């Protein structure tokens, strides 16, 4: 009965679906005993808290089959369990549906293999993933004497696009969640782009926001995220409107235009008033095909899968449907000592970054070039800006909130909400979320560190953000966060907006040199070296939190205004803020070396080239040195009032 109820809950959609789901849940709860009710609720929120996850359930199913085999397997029992467990996991990655997998597993018993099942359009497979590399030299070392291709890594949403035998299109996210209703315009784009012979297929693609009125400029992930999510009912309604109105339109215009012309006019002119209004346009960048017209293509090399892809879609439609931009390197040129190949790859990476992409993905074309669901292997390697020395930026930020983790991170806090302190408004302004680059051990330490006395019951008035985490934290530690780029965010209120993608690198250590961005820091996963924010009689919590600390990147990102800080010109050091009284801050800029200051003081380049001293902290000596005439004198006076002494 429980299984039937859960199935019924899962298929409820459309108007009144929430009410129907609640009714089914109430019926289940009324039928439960006390302990059953606890596990029912945990099941509904998808967190049993017993360590039961898919990676533990699947091997358990395999073991149950072996132990209860009709053949009575006794010899090499562990080997049989290990082999069947591997086969079950592989089959689940190809067809992640237990309703389809378990009957086949029970029927085949110990003879079950992944080849027993095949992909089914409408059931998303686990996507193949790429390993991290730090640049072209490492890539060439791995792909020595092997043909490979470099593709742009677009900044959008991973999309697995399915065409079912009935002609319908369904879209799934990287996690297997259906997102068809979020991209109603994608359905028409795919249907208009594929050839008539493309009956069924499963594509791997990236959906990217695009400005078709501005030279097909790619837009940020934040713009894509701002698209409104529709419902399945709205898609059905639009389809019905299409059928009814196109028949009426053809009837009225058939005496003037041909049937094909009527269809074109209706789809491109009339339907713009009937379809769901989306302010953000999208382009589909397709880069792989795993299933085509009933044939599973996972074991074919990428070069051959590309041939299938071109047969399914033919020509591109710029701004609507495009193949991922690529560059091929044949085996004879795949040599780490080949300067020409290195230069080609670096140039291709630069082009990708200029085109507003995250980086590139390098894939094997022939050898070990199959599509392996849910695995990272040397067949796919990614090179992103934040992995390459000299192209990445980092900030010092404070965790001010977090959400409860899901899946593997259940029981921990993930992601964390990060913020910087704005001394002008005396607010903590959110910058980004962080959920990658963190070890399991560090998650555990953070769970213990942010205990009840560090969790705030409600959002403090000086926290500025549109985010709503599950809990708020008191400002306790400073983390160094690395990102590939600075973008404007509609959610985060700090001047620099979102760091995308945000990745935790380390916690700043508690040592005398902690304020110098060039000082080597220990790994992020060492909790004993946290830089904690401590409160003294002369300083409030707010004054103890640093504004962002930048590592010197190869370029200076433009910061939105207003901002409490102004960055130095490109090629020089950026600014540093000191946290504690008596801590020395020295400029590492060659133009003005050795500017001492004590307390919470900092030298900052103004927009006109003058340098302003922000004075010493409370109780400190304010040795702010200033240039720029009257403006510098005024700044010096302000520093004197704040810190005690100043030279104008």
Q: How far apart are CA 356 and CA 365, in angstroms?
A: 25
Sign of CA dihedral 448, 452, 453, 456: positive
Closest by CA to 400, choosing from 458, 487, 351, 331, is: 458
Residue 513 CB: number of other CB atoms within 10 A? Answer: 12
Q: How far apart are CA 587 and CA 594, in angstroms?
A: 6
Helix (H) or strand (E) holding 234: helix 232-253
Q: How far apart are CA 560 and CA 563, in angstroms?
A: 7
28 CB-contact burial (10 Å; exposed 0-12 / middle 13-18 / buried 19+): buried
Phi, psi of 100 (to 5 degrees): -95, -35
Which of the following is catalytic: 126, 153, 382, 544?
153
Residues shown for the chain: 648
Closest by CA to 499, choosing from 389, 386, 398, 353, is: 386
Task: Bin 482: left if φ > 0, else alpha if -120 < ψ < 50, else beta.
Answer: beta
Closest by CA to 472, choosing from 543, 560, 532, 401, is: 401
Listing DSSP states for 477-523 in one string gives EEEEEEEEEEE--SSB-STT-EEEEEEEEEEPPSSTTTT-TTS----
Residue 612 CB: number of other CB atoms within 10 A? Answer: 22
Q: Does 459 qualify as catalytic in the annotation?
A: no
Cβ neighbours of residue 174 under 8 Å, at least 6 residues apart?
127, 157, 158, 160
- 496 contacts 396 by C-beta, under 8 angstroms: no
Q: How far apart are CA 355 and CA 417, in angstroms?
A: 29
**Residue 296 is encoded by which pair of tokens?**
């599973």
Cβ neighbours of residue 216 under 8 Å, at least 6 residues apart?
210, 283, 318, 319
Helix (H) or strand (E) holding 208: strand 201-211
Q: How far apart are CA 67 and CA 93, in angstroms?
A: 24
**Residue 619 is encoded by which pair of tokens?**
């109780």
**Residue 116 is encoded by which pair of tokens?**
């027993």
Which residues carry out catalysis? 153
């Amino acid at each position: 009965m429980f299984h039937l109820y859960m199935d019924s809950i899962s298929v409820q959609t459309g108007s009144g679906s929430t009410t129907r789901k609640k009714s089914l849940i109430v019926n289940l709860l009324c039928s439960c005993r006390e302990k059953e009710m606890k596990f029912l609720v945990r099941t509904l929120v998808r967190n049993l808290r017993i360590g039961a996850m898919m990676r533990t359930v699947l091997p358990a199913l395999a073991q149950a089959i072996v132990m209860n085999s009709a053949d009575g397997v006794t010899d090499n029992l562990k080997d049989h369990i290990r082999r069947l467990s591997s086969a079950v996991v592989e089959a689940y990655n190809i067809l992640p549906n237990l309703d389809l997998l378990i009957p086949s597993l029970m029927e085949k018993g110990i003879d079950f293999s992944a080849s027993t099942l095949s992909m089914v359009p409408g059931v998303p497979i686990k996507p193949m993933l790429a390993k991290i590399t730090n640049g072209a030299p490492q890539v060439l070392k791995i792909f020595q004497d092997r043909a490979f291709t470099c593709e742009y890594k677009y900044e959008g949403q991973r999309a697995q696009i399915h065409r079912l035998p009935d002609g319908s299109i369904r879209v799934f996210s990287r996690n297997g969640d259906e997102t068809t209703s979020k991209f109603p315009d994608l359905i028409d784009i795919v249907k208009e782009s594929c050839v008539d012979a493309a009956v069924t297929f499963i594509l791997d693609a990236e959906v990217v926001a695009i400005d078709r009125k501005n030279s097909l400029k790619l837009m940020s992930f934040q713009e894509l995220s701002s698209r409104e999510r529709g419902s399945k009912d709205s898609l059905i309604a639009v389809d019905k409107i299409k059928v009814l109105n196109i028949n009426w339109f053809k009837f009225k215009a058939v005496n003037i235009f041909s049937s094909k012309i009527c269809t074109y006019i209706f789809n491109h002119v009339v339907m713009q008033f009937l379809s769901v209004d989306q302010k953000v346009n999208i382009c589909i960048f397709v880069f792989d095909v795993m299933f085509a017209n009933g044939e599973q293509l996972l074991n074919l090399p990428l070069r051959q899968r590309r041939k299938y892809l071109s047969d399914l879609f033919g020509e591109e439609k710029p701004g609507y449907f495009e193949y991922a931009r690529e560059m091929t390197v044949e085996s004879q040129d795949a040599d780490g000592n080949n300067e020409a190949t290195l230069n080609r790859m670096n140039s291709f990476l630069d082009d990708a970054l200029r085109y507003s992409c995250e980086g590139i993905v390098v894939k094997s074309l022939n050898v070990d070039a199959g599509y392996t669901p849910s695995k990272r292997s040397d067949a796919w390697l990614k090179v992103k800006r934040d992995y390459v020395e000299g192209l990445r930026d980092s900030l010092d930020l404070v965790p001010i909130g977090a959400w409860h983790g899901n899946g593997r991170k259940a029981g921990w806090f993930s992601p964390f909400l990060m913020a910087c302190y704005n001394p002008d408004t005396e607010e903590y302004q959110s910058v980004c979320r962080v959920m990658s680059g963190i070890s399991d051990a560090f998650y555990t330490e953070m769970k213990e560190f942010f205990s009840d006395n560090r969790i705030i019951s409600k959002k403090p008035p000086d926290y500025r953000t549109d985010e709503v985490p599950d809990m708020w934290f008191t400002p306790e530690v400073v983390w160094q966060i690395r990102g590939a780029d600075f973008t404007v965010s509609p959610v985060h209120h700090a001047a620099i907006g979102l760091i995308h993608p945000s990745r935790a690198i380390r916690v700043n250590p508690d040592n005398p040199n902690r304020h110098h961005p060039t000082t080597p820091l220990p790994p992020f996963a060492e909790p004993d070296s946290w830089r904690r924010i401590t409160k003294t009689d002369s300083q409030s919590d707010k004054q103890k939190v640093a504004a962002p600390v930048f590592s010197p990147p190869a370029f200076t990102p433009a910061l939105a205004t207003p901002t409490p800080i102004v960055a130095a010109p490109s090629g020089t050091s950026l600014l540093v803020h000191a946290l504690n009284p008596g801590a020395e801050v020295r400029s590492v800029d060659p133009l003005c070396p050795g500017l001492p200051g004590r307390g919470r003081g900092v030298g900052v380049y103004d927009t006109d080239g003058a340098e302003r001293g922000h004075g010493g902290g409370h109780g400190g000596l304010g040795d702010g040195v200033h240039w720029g005439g009257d403006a510098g004198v005024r700044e010096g006076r302000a520093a004197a009032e704040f810190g005690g002494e100043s030279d104008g």
